[in-house]
Amino acid sequence: MPLLAYAVERTKEVHSWPPTIADFLKLINTAYKAYGLVDPRSAYLEACACRTDPLQYKWSHPAVFFAGSEVGWYKIKSEEERISWPLFEQSYLKVVDRVIAGERLVVPKVIMIENQQPLAVKDLASKIAKVLSVDEAQIAPLLYYTQKTYGSGVRNRYRDISQKKLLEMGYTEKLPE
Protein backbone atom coordinates (compact mmCIF):
# COMPACT_ATOMS: atom_id res chain seq x y z
CA MET A 1 0.00 0.00 0.00
CA PRO A 2 1.56 3.30 -1.07
CA LEU A 3 0.33 5.18 2.01
CA LEU A 4 2.06 2.70 4.23
CA ALA A 5 5.30 3.12 2.26
CA TYR A 6 4.94 6.90 2.55
CA ALA A 7 4.42 6.63 6.33
CA VAL A 8 7.45 4.33 6.69
CA GLU A 9 9.64 6.79 4.77
CA ARG A 10 8.35 9.70 6.88
CA THR A 11 9.02 7.63 10.03
CA LYS A 12 12.66 7.27 9.02
CA GLU A 13 12.90 11.05 8.61
CA VAL A 14 11.09 12.00 11.82
CA HIS A 15 11.82 9.28 14.39
CA SER A 16 15.16 7.81 15.49
CA TRP A 17 13.35 4.85 17.09
CA PRO A 18 10.28 3.10 15.80
CA PRO A 19 7.29 5.30 16.62
CA THR A 20 4.34 4.38 18.79
CA ILE A 21 1.28 3.12 16.97
CA ALA A 22 -0.43 6.46 17.60
CA ASP A 23 2.51 8.37 16.08
CA PHE A 24 2.59 6.03 13.10
CA LEU A 25 -1.16 6.53 12.50
CA LYS A 26 -0.60 10.31 12.60
CA LEU A 27 2.04 9.89 9.89
CA ILE A 28 -0.40 7.92 7.75
CA ASN A 29 -2.94 10.74 8.16
CA THR A 30 -0.32 13.26 7.03
CA ALA A 31 0.20 11.05 3.98
CA TYR A 32 -3.45 11.60 3.01
CA LYS A 33 -3.00 15.35 3.40
CA ALA A 34 0.17 15.30 1.30
CA TYR A 35 -1.98 14.16 -1.64
CA GLY A 36 -4.87 16.51 -0.88
CA LEU A 37 -7.00 13.63 0.37
CA VAL A 38 -9.02 13.16 3.53
CA ASP A 39 -8.80 10.07 5.73
CA PRO A 40 -11.22 7.22 4.89
CA ARG A 41 -13.60 7.94 7.75
CA SER A 42 -13.92 11.63 6.85
CA ALA A 43 -14.43 10.66 3.21
CA TYR A 44 -17.21 8.26 4.20
CA LEU A 45 -18.96 10.90 6.30
CA GLU A 46 -18.67 13.35 3.41
CA ALA A 47 -20.20 10.82 1.01
CA CYS A 48 -23.05 10.18 3.48
CA ALA A 49 -23.65 13.93 3.77
CA CYS A 50 -24.22 14.28 0.02
CA ARG A 51 -27.98 14.83 -0.10
CA THR A 52 -28.02 16.25 -3.60
CA ASP A 53 -26.85 15.04 -6.97
CA PRO A 54 -23.29 13.68 -6.50
CA LEU A 55 -22.23 15.21 -9.83
CA GLN A 56 -23.19 18.67 -8.54
CA TYR A 57 -21.78 18.28 -5.00
CA LYS A 58 -18.60 20.17 -3.99
CA TRP A 59 -16.26 17.32 -2.99
CA SER A 60 -13.14 17.81 -0.88
CA HIS A 61 -11.39 15.56 -3.43
CA PRO A 62 -12.68 13.66 -6.48
CA ALA A 63 -11.54 10.41 -4.81
CA VAL A 64 -14.53 10.66 -2.46
CA PHE A 65 -16.88 10.88 -5.46
CA PHE A 66 -15.28 7.90 -7.23
CA ALA A 67 -15.35 5.72 -4.12
CA GLY A 68 -18.99 6.64 -3.50
CA SER A 69 -19.86 5.91 -7.12
CA GLU A 70 -18.22 2.50 -6.94
CA VAL A 71 -20.15 1.55 -3.81
CA GLY A 72 -23.36 3.12 -5.08
CA TRP A 73 -25.01 6.28 -3.78
CA TYR A 74 -28.26 4.51 -2.99
CA LYS A 75 -26.42 1.90 -0.94
CA ILE A 76 -24.50 4.57 0.99
CA LYS A 77 -27.71 6.44 1.81
CA SER A 78 -29.96 3.47 2.53
CA GLU A 79 -27.84 0.71 4.08
CA GLU A 80 -26.78 0.56 7.69
CA GLU A 81 -23.31 1.88 8.43
CA ARG A 82 -22.05 -1.59 9.38
CA ILE A 83 -22.68 -2.59 5.76
CA SER A 84 -21.86 0.58 3.82
CA TRP A 85 -18.76 1.72 5.75
CA PRO A 86 -16.57 -1.36 5.02
CA LEU A 87 -17.57 -1.26 1.35
CA PHE A 88 -16.78 2.45 1.12
CA GLU A 89 -13.48 2.14 3.00
CA GLN A 90 -12.31 -0.66 0.70
CA SER A 91 -13.30 1.30 -2.39
CA TYR A 92 -11.77 4.54 -1.11
CA LEU A 93 -8.44 2.89 -0.36
CA LYS A 94 -8.32 1.54 -3.92
CA VAL A 95 -9.04 5.00 -5.31
CA VAL A 96 -6.41 6.52 -3.00
CA ASP A 97 -3.86 4.05 -4.39
CA ARG A 98 -4.73 5.25 -7.89
CA VAL A 99 -4.26 8.90 -6.84
CA ILE A 100 -0.90 8.14 -5.23
CA ALA A 101 0.13 6.25 -8.38
CA GLY A 102 -0.39 9.52 -10.26
CA GLU A 103 -3.87 9.15 -11.72
CA ARG A 104 -5.67 12.48 -11.98
CA LEU A 105 -9.33 12.13 -11.07
CA VAL A 106 -11.93 14.57 -12.34
CA VAL A 107 -15.61 14.46 -11.39
CA PRO A 108 -17.57 14.29 -14.66
CA LYS A 109 -19.40 17.44 -15.70
CA VAL A 110 -23.12 17.30 -16.36
CA ILE A 111 -23.80 18.41 -19.90
CA MET A 112 -27.38 19.32 -20.58
CA ILE A 113 -28.69 18.71 -24.06
CA GLU A 114 -30.71 21.60 -25.35
CA ASN A 115 -33.78 20.99 -27.46
CA GLN A 116 -32.71 22.67 -30.69
CA GLN A 117 -36.08 22.34 -32.43
CA PRO A 118 -38.88 23.37 -30.13
CA LEU A 119 -42.29 22.35 -31.39
CA ALA A 120 -44.52 25.39 -31.60
CA VAL A 121 -47.69 23.75 -30.26
CA LYS A 122 -49.69 26.97 -30.32
CA ASP A 123 -48.83 27.56 -33.99
CA LEU A 124 -49.64 23.94 -34.87
CA ALA A 125 -53.00 24.12 -33.05
CA SER A 126 -53.85 27.35 -34.91
CA LYS A 127 -52.88 25.83 -38.25
CA ILE A 128 -54.95 22.66 -37.73
CA ALA A 129 -57.93 24.62 -36.38
CA LYS A 130 -57.83 26.90 -39.43
CA VAL A 131 -57.68 23.94 -41.87
CA LEU A 132 -60.61 22.22 -40.12
CA SER A 133 -62.51 25.46 -39.44
CA VAL A 134 -62.85 24.63 -35.75
CA ASP A 135 -61.89 26.37 -32.53
CA GLU A 136 -58.31 25.91 -31.24
CA ALA A 137 -59.78 24.66 -27.97
CA GLN A 138 -60.92 21.50 -29.79
CA ILE A 139 -57.44 20.87 -31.21
CA ALA A 140 -55.25 21.69 -28.20
CA PRO A 141 -56.06 18.47 -26.23
CA LEU A 142 -55.04 16.43 -29.26
CA LEU A 143 -51.56 17.92 -29.09
CA TYR A 144 -51.02 16.80 -25.50
CA TYR A 145 -48.61 14.15 -26.80
CA THR A 146 -46.06 16.92 -27.45
CA GLN A 147 -45.64 17.32 -23.68
CA LYS A 148 -44.34 13.76 -23.31
CA THR A 149 -40.70 12.74 -23.68
CA TYR A 150 -39.60 12.72 -27.30
CA GLY A 151 -39.25 9.19 -28.67
CA SER A 152 -41.03 7.55 -25.72
CA GLY A 153 -43.68 4.89 -26.20
CA VAL A 154 -46.26 7.01 -24.36
CA ARG A 155 -45.67 9.96 -26.68
CA ASN A 156 -45.95 7.74 -29.75
CA ARG A 157 -49.23 6.16 -28.53
CA TYR A 158 -50.81 9.55 -27.76
CA ARG A 159 -49.62 10.86 -31.13
CA ASP A 160 -51.20 7.88 -32.95
CA ILE A 161 -54.50 8.40 -31.12
CA SER A 162 -54.45 12.12 -31.96
CA GLN A 163 -53.59 11.37 -35.59
CA LYS A 164 -56.62 9.03 -35.88
CA LYS A 165 -58.99 11.55 -34.28
CA LEU A 166 -57.76 14.32 -36.58
CA LEU A 167 -58.15 12.03 -39.60
CA GLU A 168 -61.77 11.40 -38.56
CA MET A 169 -62.21 15.19 -38.42
CA GLY A 170 -60.79 15.51 -41.95
CA TYR A 171 -57.17 16.51 -41.25
CA THR A 172 -54.88 14.41 -43.47
CA GLU A 173 -51.42 15.89 -42.75
CA LYS A 174 -49.03 13.92 -40.54
CA LEU A 175 -48.49 15.21 -37.00
CA PRO A 176 -44.87 15.95 -36.10
CA GLU A 177 -43.01 13.41 -34.02
Handedness of CA 96, 98, 102, 108 (dihedral sign): negative
Whether residue 15 is found in the same domain as residue 89: yes
From the CB of residue 71, how many other CB atoms can be counted at a distance below 10 Å? 22
Please report the pLDDT score of residue 145 as a whole number: 86
Query: Mean pLDDT for the chain?
Result: 85
Please report the pLDDT score of residue 56 as a whole number: 87
Please report the pLDDT score of residue 49 as a whole number: 92
- The answer to whether residues 97 and 1 touch, using CB atoms and an 8 Å cutoff, is yes
Q: How far is CA 80 from CA 76, 84, 86, 90, in A?
A: 8, 6, 11, 16
Residue 49 included in any domain: yes
Residue 115 included in any domain: no
Whether residue 13 is found in the same domain as residue 81: yes
Residue 34 included in any domain: yes
Which has the higher per-residue pLDDT, 108 or 121? Answer: 108
- What angle, 0 to 180 degrees and rounded to 10, lies between the N-to-C axes of helices 81-100 and 2-14? 70
Whether residue 73 is found in the same domain as residue 141: no
Whether residue 13 is found in the same domain as residue 68: yes
Residue 63 included in any domain: yes
Whether residue 125 is found in the same domain as residue 95: no
How many domains does one find in the chain?
2
Of the residues 68, 100, 132, the one at which a domain ends: 100
Q: Phi, psi (5° rounding) for residue 59? A: -80, 145
Q: What is the pLDDT of residues 129-159, one digit of tens each?
A: 888 999 888 888 888 888 888 778 888 999 9
Whether residue 59 is found in the same domain as residue 10: yes
Mean pLDDT of 27-32: 71
Domain of residue 131 covers 121-169
| Residue 176 one-letter amino acid | P
Residue 67 included in any domain: yes
Mean pLDDT of 4-20: 73
Residue 113 included in any domain: no
Whether residue 68 is found in the same domain as residue 141: no
Please report the pLDDT score of residue 113 as a whole number: 66
Please report the pLDDT score of residue 12 as a whole number: 74
Burial of 44 (0-12, 13-18, 19+ CB in 10 A): buried
* Residue 97 CB contacts under 8 Å (≥ 6 apart), including other chains: 1, 2, 3
